[in-house]
Amino acid sequence: MWLRLSRNRMAIVGLVIIALFICTALLAPYLAPYNPLKQNLLLISGGPSAKHWLGCDQVGRDIFSRIIYGTAVTFKIALTSVLMGLFLGTAIGALGGYYGGKVDAGVVFLADILLAFPGLLLAIAIVAAVGTGLGAVIIATGFSTIPQFIRVTRSVVMGEKEHNYVLAAQAIGENHRSIIVRYILPNCIAPIVVLLTLRVAAIILIASGLSFLGLGVQPPTPEWGAMLAEGRGYLQKAPHIAMFPGLAIMIVVLAFNLLGDGLRDALDPRMKI
Amino acid sequence: MVWGMINYIIRRLLMIIPTLIAITMVSFFILQVVPGDPARAMAGIEANEKDVQAIRKQLGLDKPIYLQYGIFLKHIVQGDFGQSIRSRDDVIKQIWPRFLNTLRLAVASISLSIVIGIIAGVIAATRKNSGIDYLTMGLVLVGISAPTFWMGLLLILVFSVFAGWFPAGGTGGFLSLVLPAITLAAPSAAVTARMTRSSMLEVLQMDYIKTARAKGQKEMKVVFKHALKNALMPTITIVGMQFGYLMGGAVLVETVFTWPGVGWVLVDAIFAKDYPVVQAGVIFIAASFVFVNLAVDILYSYVNPRITYD
C-alpha cells in the first residue's frame, strides 16, 4: 500500500503540505514575525506590504503572524478531535463488529442516532449545551466524528473475525479483549487511517465554521474561522482580512483530501473515484 | 410489485420512528445540560421566587425527568414547540416560515448542483485524461476543500461589491437567491461531478456501449441515452445524501448572506439563550435530514430494478 501511495504524486504533494503546516504549528513562536495579539492602531486594515506580507487586520494585528499561530490552534483541535473520534469510535465499533447480536444492534443504533444529525448541526447542538471556546469545539467536533469510525471499524471487524487466525486465537484460549486488540485491530489499520485523514479535513471545516458563527474559539485567539468572521465587516475596504485565512483553510483541507484520496486508492484501487 | 413497494415504504417509515424519537431526546437533553435554571431564564432575572415556581410548575420542570421528556414529546407530536423566551411568541410561528426559506434555498442549491455536477462529470469522463478532465477534477477538489462561508464572501466580493450584479444578502426576490444557492451548491456539485465521472467511466467500458458504437450510433446518443441512464444510479444516492447535508450546511450560508432561514434563527437563538427555539431548530433540521434520506432510499429502490422488496 505504501509503495502504491508513493507513486501518487498528488498524495505526496498533500503529504508535503501537511508536513509544512505541522512544522509551522510547532515552530510558530520562531516563525511569526510579530506578536499575533499585538494591536497597532496606525496600521488598521493595512494591505499587504514588505513589512506585513499579508497585511493587517481591523485592529492592526499582523495577519501573517495570526495565520501562523492559527495553524497551531487548528491542528490542536483537529488532532485532539480526531483522536477522540478514533479511540471512542473504534472501540465501540470493534465491540459491535466482534460480538454481534444485541451488542451490535445497540452499536448500530447509537451510530444511526449520531448520523441522523449533519456534522455541523451536531457540533452546534453540543456547543449550545456546553458553551463556546476551544474545549467545547474539540468535544463538539470529536463527537461528530465518532459515528464514522464506529461504522468503518464495525464493518472491517465483522469481516476479519471470520478469518482462521481469529479462530486459532480463540482455540488457544486468548480472551476476547486480547483477540480484538492484538489480532483483529492491527489488520484493520489501513481503512481506519484513510478515514482518519479524510475526517481531519472535515473537522477543520466544522471547527472553522463554528468559529465563524461565533460559537467556537473566541477572539482574540487567532483561529482562521474567527479571523474570517472578523474580516466580514471589512470586505469592501480590506478584503485581505477575510481572504487570507480562508485560503489557509482551503489549502490545508485540500492537502488532507489529496492524502486521503491517495491512501484510499492505494488501499483498494477498485475504490478509486 | 406495487404491494411490495408499498410494504417496503411502510417498513422504512416504521424504521425511522426510533431515529426521530432519538432526535427529540438529543434536543430535549440540550436544555438539561445547559447551566442555569430555565424557569428563571423564562421568568426574568428580576422575577420573584413565587413567579419562578409558577413557571416551573407550568412547564412541568418540577416533575421527574422522564415525565418531563414524555410531556415534551407529546407536545412535539401535537406541533407545540413551546414559547420563545425572548419574544414570548409560539416557537412554531417563528420557525416554520424560516424553515420554508431554508427549504427554498436547499431546493435551489440541489437543482444547481445536479445540473452542474452531472454535466461536469459527463464531460470529464468522456474526455478522460485531457486538459478539461484535469481542470474539472481540480475544480472539484477546490469545491470540496474550500469552506462554504469563505466561498460565499468571495462571491459577495466579486459579484456584489465589485460588479454590483447581485445583492449581498436578504430575500429581495430571485436575484437574492442566486449567490447563496451557488455557494451552497458548490461542494455538493463537486461531489456529484466526482461520482458521475467515476460511474460514467465504469459504464463506458461495458460491452453494450461498445456494441452501440459498433452499430454506428452517434457519440452523443451513446453517452446520454445508453451510458448516462445507468451511470446515474449511484449519483442518485449521492445527490440525496447531499440534500440532507445541505439542510445542515445552510446554517453557514444563511449567516453569510443574512438569509432568514432556520439555521440563522438557530444560531441567533443560541446567543440569546432562547433554548425552546434552539430545540425546535435542531429537531426541524435533523428530522428533515432523516426524511430526505428516507425519500432517497425509496426513490433508489424504485429506479433500480435489481432491488427487491423483501
Asked if residue A221 lies in contact with residue A208, where contact means CB atoms within 8 angstroms, the answer is no
Domain holding B201, by residue range, is 97-271
Kindly indicate the confidence band of residue A211, based on its pLDDT and cuts at 50, 70 and 90: very high
pLDDT in tens, A43-88: 888 888 888 999 999 899 999 999 999 999 999 999 999 999 999 9
Q: Tell which residue, B14, B106, B12, has the closest CA to residue B300.
A: B12
Kindly indicate the confidence band of residue B231, based on its pLDDT and cuts at 50, 70 and 90: confident
Check CB contact under 8 Å for B142 and A254: yes
Nine-digit cell at B113? 448542483
B136/B57 same-domain check: no
pLDDT in tens, B40-67: 766 666 778 887 787 777 767 778 888 8
Asked if residue B200 lies in contact with residue B207, where contact means CB atoms within 8 angstroms, the answer is no
The verdict on residue B225 lying in a domain is: yes
Average pLDDT, chain A: 89
The rounded percent of chain A whose pLDDT value lies above 90 is 46
Domain holding A155, by residue range, is 2-27+63-272
CA–CA gap between residue B136 and residue B132 (Å, rounded)? 6
Determine the distance in angstroms separating the CA of A250 from the nearest CA of chain B, rounded to an integer.
Answer: 5
The verdict on residue A84 lying in a domain is: yes
B122/B244 same-domain check: yes
Nine-digit cell at A40? 497597532
- Chain A residues whose beta carbon lies within 8 Å of the beta carbon of residue B267: 124, 213-215
Check CB contact under 8 Å for A232 and B256: yes
B260/B182 same-domain check: yes
The verdict on residue B290 lying in a domain is: no
Domain CATH number, residue B124? 1.10.3720.10
Asked if residue A58 lies in contact with residue A44, where contact means CB atoms within 8 angstroms, the answer is yes
Domain CATH number, residue A79? 1.10.3720.10
The verdict on residue A163 lying in a domain is: yes
Nearest CB among A118, A243, A254 relative to B249 is that of: A118
Q: Tell which residue, B48, B2, B72, has the closest CA to residue B275.
A: B72
Q: Is B142 exposed, middle or buried (0-12, 13-18, 19+ CB in 10 A)?
A: middle
The verdict on residue B303 lying in a domain is: no
Is B186 a residue whose pLDDT tops 80? yes
Determine the distance in angstroms separating the CA of A154 from the nearest CA of chain B, rounded to an integer.
Answer: 20
Asked if residue B289 lies in contact with residue B247, where contact means CB atoms within 8 angstroms, the answer is yes
Phi and psi angles of residue B83, each rounded to the nearest 5 degrees, phi first? -115, 145
CA–CA gap between residue A126 and residue A128 (Å, rounded)? 5
Check CB contact under 8 Å for A228 and B153: yes
B102/B233 same-domain check: yes
- Chain A residues whose beta carbon lies within 8 Å of the beta carbon of residue B249: 118, 120
The verdict on residue A76 lying in a domain is: yes
B142/B251 same-domain check: yes
CA atoms within 13 A on the CB side of A138: 14
B58/B124 same-domain check: no
Q: Tell which residue, A256, A112, A105, A95, has the closest CA to residue A180.
A: A95
Q: Tell which residue, B144, B145, B167, has the closest CA to residue B155.
A: B167
With CA atoms as reference, the chain B residue closest to A211 would be: B252
Is A272 a residue whose pLDDT tops 50? no
Residues in chain B: 310
Determine the distance in angstroms separating the CA of B172 from the nearest CA of chain A, rounded to an integer.
Answer: 21
Determine the distance in angstroms separating the CA of B160 from the nearest CA of chain A, rounded to an integer.
Answer: 10
pLDDT in tens, A171-199: 888 888 888 888 888 888 888 888 999 89
pLDDT in tens, B253-286: 999 999 999 988 888 888 888 888 888 888 888 8
The verdict on residue A259 lying in a domain is: yes
Q: Which pLDDT score is estimated for B81?
A: 87
With CA atoms as reference, the chain B residue closest to A209 would be: B252
CA atoms within 13 A on the CB side of B231: 29
**Which amino acid, B5?**
M
Q: How many C-beta neighbours within 10 Å does residue A178 have?
A: 11
The number of folded domains in chain B is: 2
A interface toward B at CB cutoff 8 Å? 109, 112-113, 116-121, 124-125, 127-131, 201, 205, 208-209, 212-215, 225, 228, 231-232, 235-236, 239, 242-243, 245-247, 249-250, 253-254, 257-258, 272-273
Angle at alpha carbon of residue A97, lines to A197 and B309, rounded to 5° = 100
Check CB contact under 8 Å for A120 and B278: no
Stated as kind and residue range, the H or E segment containing B112 is helix B91-126
B48/B12 same-domain check: yes
B125/B261 same-domain check: yes
B101/B186 same-domain check: yes
Beta bridge partners, B83, equal B90
Q: What is the CA radius of gyration of chain B?
A: 24
- Chain B residues whose beta carbon lies within 8 Å of the beta carbon of residue A249: 146-147, 150
Nearest CB among B26, B256, B270 relative to A215 is that of: B270
**Substitution target from B28, B139, B150 for chain A, most A beta carbons within 10 A:** B150
Cell numbers 407536545 correspond to B75
Q: Is B48 exposed, middle or buried (0-12, 13-18, 19+ CB in 10 A)?
A: exposed
Asked if residue A217 lies in contact with residue A226, where contact means CB atoms within 8 angstroms, the answer is yes
The verdict on residue B71 lying in a domain is: yes
- Chain B residues whose beta carbon lies within 8 Å of the beta carbon of residue A231: 153
Kindly indicate the confidence band of residue B306, based on its pLDDT and cuts at 50, 70 and 90: low
CA–CA gap between residue B217 and residue B64 (Å, rounded)? 72
Q: If you count DSSP H runs as helices and E runs as strands, how many of each does chain B have, helices first? A: 13, 0
CA–CA gap between residue B186 and residue B192 (Å, rounded)? 10
pLDDT in tens, A225-258: 999 999 998 988 899 999 999 999 999 999 999 9
B127/B267 same-domain check: yes
Q: Which pLDDT score is estimated for B310?
A: 46
- Chain B residues whose beta carbon lies within 8 Å of the beta carbon of residue A140: none
Across residues B88-117, what is the average pLDDT?
91
Cell numbers 463538539 correspond to A140
The rounded percent of chain B whose pLDDT value lies above 90 is 25
Q: Which pLDDT score is estimated for B182?
A: 95
The verdict on residue A35 lying in a domain is: no
The number of folded domains in chain A is: 1
Kindly indicate the confidence band of residue B239, based on its pLDDT and cuts at 50, 70 and 90: confident
Alpha helices in B204-304 (DSSP H): 207-214, 219-221, 228-256, 262-271, 275-303
Of B43, B77, B111, the position where a domain reaches its end is B77
The verdict on residue B107 lying in a domain is: yes
Looking at per-residue pLDDT, the higher value among A221 and B306 belongs to: A221
B121/B61 same-domain check: no
Check CB contact under 8 Å for A125 and B282: yes
**Substitution target from B27, B149, B161, B274 for chain A, most A beta carbons within 10 A:** B149
The pTM (predicted TM-score) of the whole model is: 0.87
With CA atoms as reference, the chain A residue closest to B163 would be: A236
The verdict on residue B284 lying in a domain is: no
